[in-house]
Amino acid sequence: MPEAPKSQMPARRKARKRALDVLFEADLRDMPVPDVLASYIKRLEQPRPEHLGYAIGLIEGVAEHLDRIDELIASYAEGWTLDRMPVVDRNLARIAVYELLYVDEIDDAVAITEAVELARQMSTDDSPRFLNGVLGRIAEYATR
């Protein structure tokens, strides 16, 4: 039986995970994202993964639009400030909001689902529901 073709989803999920790693480290250590990204890339073994380009695009895009992204998250995260959010959640939200606003080839539902799935794997029990709500409200705003 022939193998099913590999879909883009696993590669993009890996890219999102890599983007999260870099953004998390930059956020936690209060370092500039480009510096953390350069260090991260240097540490990668050859050959580099195919999905690295998408990960770098996410990281650079979040860094470039960080003020706008954080403004939206803060506005739509009812009762939460960015500083009070777990670092993982804050950076998953940043990646998803970047995809919602600036990556046309990713459907809104996919950007939200991916953030929720990563939160389910890597954050608190409340994180998936929290991110789903915040990102859903931002997606509604973005499609107006």
Q: What is the pLDDT of residue 3?
A: 42
Domain 8-142 has CATH 3.40.50.300: no
Q: Is 50 exposed, middle or buried (0-12, 13-18, 19+ CB in 10 A)?
A: exposed
Q: Is 2 exposed, middle or buried (0-12, 13-18, 19+ CB in 10 A)?
A: exposed
Q: What is the pLDDT of residue 90?
A: 97
Cβ-based neighbour number of residue 51 at 10 Å: 19
Q: What is the pLDDT of residue 1?
A: 44
Q: What is the pLDDT along the chain (144 residues), one digit of tens a residue?
A: 444 344 445 899 999 999 999 999 999 999 999 999 999 999 998 999 999 999 999 999 999 999 999 999 999 998 889 999 999 999 999 999 999 999 999 999 999 999 999 999 999 999 999 999 999 999 998 887
Q: What is the pLDDT of residue 23?
A: 98
Q: What is the pLDDT of residue 79?
A: 86
